[in-house]
C-alpha cells in the first residue's frame, strides 16, 4: 500500500511539473523571485526551453527568439508556428538542434532544464535558469530578459498590472484541490498560492506545511478537508487534458464531498492547470486571473 502511494505521488509530481520542462519556467512554475544566473547583455539569438520565457521574449522582441520547446501551449499559438522546436512532447531538448541555431542565450527552468543547460554551458554558450513562483518573480524575469535583449519591459509590466484587481474584498475560505490521488493543495509558496493571495483569497492551506515532494504543495487527508470546510472549492484540470465535468465527477466519488459547505452551496469551480498552477504563458496567466475575478465578483 505504501509503495503504491509513493508511486502515485511520483505520478502527480510528474503531472504537475513535467510541463514545466516543456512549457513554463513553472509549476512550476514556481521559481523564486529572480533568475539564478546573469546572462550576457545584447543577446540576439535566444533559445527558450520553457513556454513562459519563450512568450516573454516573443512579446519583448520576437526577432530575438530562434528556438523553443515543443510545448502544447506554444503549439496551439500560431505566432510560434515558424520557430524551430528543439524538443517535442516530454522528450529532453535536442542539444544538436540547439547548437545548430547558434544561440547567444539559452533559457531553461531550474530543476527541470539543469542537465541541458549544463551541457550548453560547457560549449561556451551563455545560459539562464529561471524560477517563477510568484508575480514578483514574473516581473523580475521580464525585466532581466528585457535588459538581456535590449528591449523595453514597460508594456509587459503594465499589462501584468491589469491582471490583478487590488480592490477585491477579502474572500471567504477557499480550498484548491490540484489533484485527487493523492489530494494536493497549494500553500503560499506556490504560483497558485501567490495568485490567491494577490486576490485577497483566504486560502485555507496557505500556511500549512507537509511532506509532499512537490514544493509549494501539501497532501491533504479527507479528515483535514472536512476540518477546513471551505466556503469555496477550486478544482484544477490536469495538464494532459480532461473536461471540467470529468474532474468534478471524479471528486464527487470522495466520501467527504457532499459534507462540505462549498458543495452544498454549489460554489465549486474548475480552473485550467496552465495559468493557475503552472504559469504557462502570459495569456494563460491573464485567463486565470480573469476567472478568479469572475469567481470573486
The domain segmentation of the chain, as residue ranges, is: 46-160, 173-296
pLDDT for 40 equals 60
pLDDT at position 31 over 70: no
Q: Which of the pair, 208 or 5, is modelled with greater confidence? A: 208
Average pLDDT, the chain: 85
State mean pLDDT over 103-128. Answer: 92
State mean pLDDT over 178-200. Answer: 93
pTM: 0.85
How far is it, in rounded angstroms, from Cα 142 to Cα 138? 6
pLDDT digits (tens, 9 = 90+) for 118-137: 999 999 999 999 999 999 99
Calculate what percentage of the chain has a pLDDT beyond 70: 84
- Return the minimum-mean-pLDDT range out of 74-83, 90-99, 166-175, 253-262: 166-175
Q: Is there a shared CATH topology between the 46-160 domain and the 173-296 domain?
A: yes
Letter string b/e over residues 24-53, b meaning 16 or more CB atoms within 10 A of that residue's CB: bbbbbbbbbebbebebeeebebbbbbbbbb
| 46-160 topology per CATH | Rossmann fold (3.40.50)
- The CATH class, in words, for 173-296 is alpha beta
pLDDT at position 245 over 90: no
Model confidence band, residue 37 (pLDDT cutoffs 50, 70, 90):
low
How far is it, in rounded angstroms, from Cα 172 to Cα 180? 23
pLDDT for 41 equals 65
The number of angstroms, rounded, from the C-alpha of 218 to the middle of its chain's C-alpha atoms is 16
Amino acid at each position: 500500500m505504501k509503495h503504491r502511494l509513493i508511486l502515485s505521488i511520483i505520478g502527480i509530481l510528474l503531472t504537475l511539473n513535467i510541463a514545466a520542462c516543456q512549457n513554463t519556467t513553472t509549476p512550476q512554475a514556481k521559481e523564486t523571485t529572480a533568475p539564478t544566473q546573469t546572462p550576457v547583455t545584447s543577446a540576439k539569438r535566444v533559445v527558450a526551453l520553457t513556454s513562459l520565457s519563450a512568450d516573454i521574449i516573443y512579446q519583448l522582441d520576437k526577432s530575438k527568439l530562434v528556438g523553443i520547446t515543443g510545448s502544447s501551449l506554444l503549439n496551439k499559438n500560431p505566432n510560434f508556428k515558424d520557430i524551430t522546436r528543439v524538443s517535442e512532447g516530454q522528450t529532453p531538448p535536442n542539444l544538436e538542434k540547439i547548437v545548430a541555431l547558434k544561440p547567444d542565450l539559452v533559457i531553461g527552468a531550474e530543476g527541470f532544464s539543469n542537465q541541458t543547460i549544463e551541457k550548453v554551458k560547457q560549449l561556451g554558450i551563455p545560459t539562464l535558469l529561471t524560477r517563477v513562483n510568484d508575480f514578483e518573480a514574473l516581473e523580475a524575469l521580464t525585466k532581466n530578459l528585457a535588459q538581456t535583449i535590449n528591449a523595453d519591459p514597460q508594456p509587459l509590466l503594465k499589462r501584468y498590472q491589469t491582471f490583478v484587481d487590488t480592490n477585491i474584498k477579502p474572500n471567504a475560505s477557499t480550498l484548491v484541490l490540484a489533484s485527487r490521488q493523492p489530494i494536493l493543495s497549494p500553500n503560499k509558496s506556490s504560483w497558485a498560492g501567490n495568485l490567491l493571495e494577490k486576490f485577497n483569497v483566504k486560502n485555507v492551506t496557505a500556511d500549512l506545511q507537509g511532506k509532499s515532494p512537490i514544493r509549494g504543495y501539501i497532501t491533504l487527508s479527507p479528515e483535514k478537508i472536512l476540518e477546513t470546510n471551505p466556503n469555496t472549492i477550486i478544482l484544477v484540470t490536469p495538464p494532459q487534458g480532461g473536461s471540467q465535468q470529468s474532474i468534478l465527477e471524479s471528486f464527487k466519488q470522495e466520501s467527504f464531498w457532499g459534507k462540505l459547505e462549498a458543495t452544498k452551496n454549489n460554489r465549486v469551480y474548475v480552473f485550467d492547470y496552465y495559468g493557475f498552477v503552472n504559469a504557462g504563458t502570459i495569456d494563460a496567466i491573464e485567463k486565470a486571473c480573469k476567472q478568479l475575478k469572475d469567481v470573486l465578483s
